[in-house]
Amino acid sequence: MRVLVTGASGFVGTALLGRLSATGRCAMRACARRALRALPAGVEPVLVGDLGPHTDWRAALAGVDTVVHLSGRVHIMRDATADPLAEYRRANVAGTVSLARQMASAGGRRLVFLSSVKVNGEVGICREADRPAPHGAYAVSKHEAELGLGEVAGETGLDVVIIRSPLVYGPGVKANFRALMHALARGIPLPLGAVDNRRSLVALANLVDFIVTCIEHPAAANETFLVSDGEDLSTPDLIRRLARAMGRPARLVPVPESLLWAGATLLGKRDVAKRLLGSLQVDISKARQTLGWTPPVTVEDGLRQAVAAP
């Protein structure tokens, strides 16, 4: 088996290449927009430039039967482009569908696409059978990419596996999770002690393990799966466990949620508040039952791995 990983220099791509290299069960090709460094032994690098409708994938796809498509325009909190949805569609929709069509023409067998739980929506308990409710340009583009891949699969016979992931944490994590780690390291009091919510996360090691399962498992073909650690946490519980992994105190102050929402609204930070105060749970029953998959890494181990990285 020869596997192509797009977005190979990213957070998930780097970990996936390491895992696939360690198994030794497949030949690998890594694809990115710019030069790739420190690749595992035996991984062939290929540069393709920016992801879009006119990207030429021929060199990358030659002899490949499986593609793990991680590349894309990521979620940007403050997008300064004139038309964010158009930019997301160019990369995440047109670029992804073009890759799938070129892959089918080249004789590829299976494409594993990393999507987002944001396709389901921003609140509640998410299941694969739910009506999609994407909110925002990024989520809309991921949903439209899923629909486009479904059309390609129906027209060409290409196997497509869609994975919808919640927030991923692990070695090298950035953005809000890294900011939370910095706050705990500095001993900053956090006004989140009274928050009563439930959120699903996924450790990087668990996501990578699930991707590998979807590469290999015959029952994954043309299915959509949600993935998580299998344990939902409240924001205060996450902070306490993360602090424990860091060997730091969790300085939680019990401020009423109504005041936190009001303050976030005044500051224009309701999206940030939604992630800290709202609930978003992922039901992974389908992954367990269809693929026999169980998250191999506990939340505690996942957090320890995240804080141990420089």
Q: Do the beta carbons of residue 200 and residue 220 sit within 8 Å?
A: no
Task: Kindly state whether residues 13 and 145 are assigned to the same domain.
Answer: yes
Question: How many Å separate Cα 84 from the centre of its chain?
Answer: 20
pLDDT of residue 301: 97
> How would you label 225-247 residue by residue, b for 16+ Cβ within 10 Å and e otherwise?
bbbbbbebbebbbbbbbbbbbbe
DSSP state of 39: P
Say if residue 36 is in the same domain as residue 128.
yes
Cβ atoms of residues 208 and 240 within 8 Å: no
Burial of 292 (0-12, 13-18, 19+ CB in 10 A): exposed
Whether residue 217 is contained in a domain is answered as no
Positive or negative, the Cα torsion across 170, 299, 221, 151?
A: negative
Residue 159 and residue 20 share a domain: yes
pLDDT, residue 78, reads 59
DSSP state of 134: -
pLDDT lower than 50: segments of the chain:
none
Are residues 240 and 298 located together in one domain of the fold? yes
- pLDDT computed for residue 275 by the predictor: 86
Selection from 140, 138, 115, 137 nearest residue 128 by Cα: 115
Closest Cα to residue 31, out of 23, 55, 54?
A: 55
- For residues 14 and 46, membership in a common domain is answered with yes
- Give the residue numbers annotated as catalytic, written as ranges: 138
Task: Specify if 135 maps to a domain.
Answer: yes
What are the two backbone dihedrals, phi and then psi, of residue 103, each rounded to the nearest 5 degrees? -65, -45
Asked whether residue 211 is domain-assigned, the answer is no
Q: Are residues 135 and 173 in the same domain?
A: no
98: left (phi over 0), alpha (psi -120 to 50) or beta: alpha
Question: Does some domain include residue 210?
Answer: no
Alpha helices in 24-78 (DSSP H): 58-61
Instruction: Please report, in angstroms and rounded to a whole number, the separation of the first and last CA atoms in the chain.
Output: 34
Domain boundary pick from 120, 144, 165:
165
User: What are 269-292's pLDDT values in tens digits?
Assistant: 888 888 899 999 999 999 999 999
Can you point out the beta strands (E) in the chain? 2-6, 27-32, 43-47, 66-69, 110-116, 124-126, 159-165, 167-169, 201-203, 224-226, 280-282
- CATH number for 185: 3.90.25.10
Give the torsion sign (CA, 151, 155, 156, 160). positive
Domain enclosing residue 60, as ranges: 2-165
- What are the residue ranges of helices labelled H in 157-295? 175-185, 204-216, 235-246, 257-266, 270-277, 285-291
Q: Which of 292, 304, 121, 111 is nearest to 205 (CA)?
A: 304
Q: What is the CATH number of the domain that holds 26?
A: 3.40.50.720
Residue 243 lies in a domain: yes
**How many independent structural domains does the chain possess?**
2
Residue where a domain terminates, one of 137, 165, 193: 165
Query: What is the maximal distance between C-alpha atoms in the chain?
Result: 58
pLDDT computed for residue 52 by the predictor: 94
Query: What radius of gyration do the chain's Cα atoms show?
Result: 20
